[in-house]
């Protein structure tokens, strides 16, 4: 059995009995019924995911998957491709947005080279990043498939392997991304799965103007027409119009689900990876927590496909795992409410009139 098949086989739904126990406790807390709203929903989810009324969440880790994209040659991004490895060095130095927000949340940051178009061997050899490199960036989806099906499998299995190797040291996984041009394959993925018009699921990425946006839409439309991804086959969608780092994110989501641990899904690119994971194993979505609502237009449609309601809406569009890091504070809060707030009976407080 391959690693991918083995992982999918290991994914089962949340524990319904523990969810029910958590729900009963949350209903009995010393407050009006469900007065903390979606924070209580999150607490119930965490209990079902972890099979515990005291969900372990102290060890938090963001995995920022990095990869380059051949479609950048079409002029879809405001930034040049060399920014991808430059930002990897920035992550390692601790100077990026994800580093600041992860430190605030008490989370570690691990950069995974899934296919950056630069030599990062020195960083990998020094143990400063993890190398799961599939190739030096994907091919140009405007002219053919991003990668072979075998490369797509390798990318997903690399993400699974990252989750497995981190298992003993991580309670809560978080996804992140780095890759100039990666909103283009992400929009293509959402369009492929949703069937929505490309213009409806495509945003302005790094800040392109109206003319560049129209060009970006046309490039994605051409990529979908040329490659004809099969929406019923997540690996086909990934291979035809995806990215190596998106495959790695999909694998991390599957790996976390197989380990029965929550995975906090960052913004648009991470959610594209989550869609691949969901296509391969719908039950994996039960372990995903949508961190925030991205400014990117296609993100709203993507989270609807997953059946998720993002925790935060602060007009984020950075990626890197920044939204996931910030959302980890809400995970901490939800568990504290579940475990530290007394029930009416425990506190000797009179209940509301029936």
Catalytic residues: 320
Give 100's contacts (C-beta < 8 A, 6+ positions apart). Answer: none
Largest CA distance in the chain: 69
Both tokens of residue 322? 């920044």
Please, where are the H alpha helices in the chain?
A: 3-10, 16-27, 37-50, 83-93, 97-105, 121-125, 149-166, 183-194, 198-201, 210-227, 234-241, 244-258, 268-280, 297-306, 322-340, 344-347
Taking 3-state DSSP, the helix, strand and coil percentages for the chain, each rounded to the nearest 5, stand at 55, 10, 35
For residue 29, list its beta bridge partners. Answer: 343
Compute the distance between CA of residue 202 and CA of residue 297 in angstroms, rounded to an integer.
6
CA dihedral for 176, 179, 184, 188, sign (positive or negative): negative
Number of H helices, E strands in the chain: 16, 6
What is the SS3 assignment for 85? helix
How many C-beta atoms lie closer than 10 Å to residue 19's C-beta?
Answer: 18
CB 136 within 8 A of CB 70: no
Compute the distance between CA of residue 48 and CA of residue 43 in angstroms, rounded to an integer.
9
In order, the DSSP letters of 211-272 are HHHHHHHHHHHHHHHHH---TT-HHHHHHHH--HHHHHHHHHHHHHHHTT--EEE-SHHHHH
Compute the distance between CA of residue 151 and CA of residue 133 in angstroms, rounded to an integer.
10
Angstrom distances, CA of residue 208 to CA of 97, 257, 320:
21, 36, 19
Element (H, E) at 98: helix 97-105
């Amino acid at each position: 059995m391959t690693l991918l098949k083995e992982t999918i086989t290991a994914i089962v739904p949340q524990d319904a009995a523990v969810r029910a126990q958590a729900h009963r406790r949350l209903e009995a807390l010393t407050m009006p019924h469900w007065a903390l709203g979606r924070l209580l929903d999150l607490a119930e989810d965490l209990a079902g995911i972890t099979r515990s009324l005291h969900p372990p969440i102290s060890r938090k880790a963001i995995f920022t998957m990095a990869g380059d994209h051949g479609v950048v040659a079409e002029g879809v991004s405001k930034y040049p491709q060399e920014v991808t490895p430059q930002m990897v060095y920035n992550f390692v130095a601790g100077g990026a947005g994800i580093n600041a927000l992860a430190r605030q949340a008490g989370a570690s940051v691990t950069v995974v080279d899934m296919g950056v178009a630069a030599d990062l061997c020195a960083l990998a050899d020094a143990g400063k990043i993890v190398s799961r490199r599939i190739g030096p960036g994907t091919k140009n989806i405007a002219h053919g498939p991003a990668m072979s099906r075998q490369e797509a499998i390798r990318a997903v299995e690399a993400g699974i392997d990252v989750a497995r190797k981190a298992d003993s040291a991580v309670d809560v996984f978080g996804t992140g991304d780095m890759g100039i041009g990666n909103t283009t394959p992400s929009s293509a993925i959402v369009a492929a799965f949703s069937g929505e018009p490309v213009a409806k699921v495509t945003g302005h990425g790094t800040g392109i103007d109206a003319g560049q946006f129209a060009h970006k839409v046309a490039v994605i439309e051409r990529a979908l027409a040329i490659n004809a991804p099969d929406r019923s086959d997540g690996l086909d969608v990934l291979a035809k119009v995806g990215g190596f780092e998106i495959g790695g994110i999909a694998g991390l989501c599957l790996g976390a689900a197989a380990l029965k641990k929550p995975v906090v899904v960052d913004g648009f690119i991470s959610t594209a990876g989550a869609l691949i994971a969901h296509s391969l194993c719908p039950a994996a979505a039960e372990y995903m927590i949508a961190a925030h609502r991205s400014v990117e237009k296609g993100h709203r449609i993507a989270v609807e496909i997953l059946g998720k309601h993002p925790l935060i809406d602060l007009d984020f569009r950075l990626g890197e795992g920044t939204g996931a890091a910030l959302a980890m504070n809400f995970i901490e809060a939800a568990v504290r409410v579940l475990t530290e707030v007394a029930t009416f009976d425990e506190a000797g407080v009179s209940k509301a009139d029936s």
